[in-house]
Amino acid sequence: MAQDLWLQNYDATCRLAQEIAENIHERNRLQRTGGNPAKLNMTLRASLQKLKQNILQLRETLVRASSQRRIMQSEADRRQNLVDDLVTREKQLCSTFSRDGTDPEPSRSSLMSGGFGAGTGGAGSVNPWLVNESEETKGLTFGEIKQQQQRVIDAQDAGLDALSAVISRQKRMGEEIGNELDEQNEIIDDITQLVDKTDSRIRNETRRVKLVETKSASCGELPTPAQPAH
């Protein structure tokens, strides 16, 4: 059964919160390194406002669905807990955004994990859109992670280019073999035609020889003239 609209909106709101957390982390990194975070700050303000509106819409839609008994009470309670988690998370993000980026900030994992419940599963406290961070990316900024991913993509592209070159070379070899087979087939056709012509000439000569032999035999069977009487 397809996921209902409320859960779809909830998942979209979770993704928006995670995106805000990542942008706050990047904004703070720019502030610490002397970069210009003005553009990110504008984006973050708009995103935080949208996050608040989305949470309000989720809450209002849930109240209507519960009052009209379109969902069971147990499901309504579960969804209310999800909304409460989002409200807490939104407050944490607003607080982190307002903090000076030069101050110690929460880790990237805590920024992204927050207090989300599982939108489509049981009542958990793990953000369904958070992937466990590997040892290779711990301690790296988002920019450094992107660079690392780009290096992996570049290596994959190089491998694909090499594979493409091998395939192209094999294709050329196949075309050359095909051309050679075509030439050999033409030679075989010429030989076949020559054999057919030679065979036809042999048959014609054989018929002529038989005709000559037949005529010679006929001439040898002519009666001997009678001797005159004495």
Q: What is the pLDDT of residue 1?
A: 40
Query: Domain-by-domain residue ranges, the chain?
Result: 1-99
| Other CB atoms within 10 Å distance of the CB of residue 27 | 22
* Structure tokens, 139: 């301690």
Low-confidence ranges of the chain (pLDDT < 50): 1-2, 105-106, 108, 114-115, 117-118, 120-132
Q: What is the pLDDT of residue 161?
A: 81
Q: How far apart are CA 173 and CA 215, in angstroms?
A: 63
Give the CATH number of domain 1-99: 1.20.58
Question: Could you tell me if 51 and 17 are in contact, meaning their C-beta atoms sit under 8 angstroms apart?
Answer: yes
Q: What is the pLDDT of residue 3?
A: 52
Q: What is the pLDDT of residue 127?
A: 43
Q: What is the pLDDT of residue 179?
A: 83
Q: What is the pLDDT of residue 162?
A: 83
* Structure tokens, 223: 């009666």
**Is the pTM value of this prediction over 0.85?**
no
Q: What is the pLDDT of residue 115?
A: 47
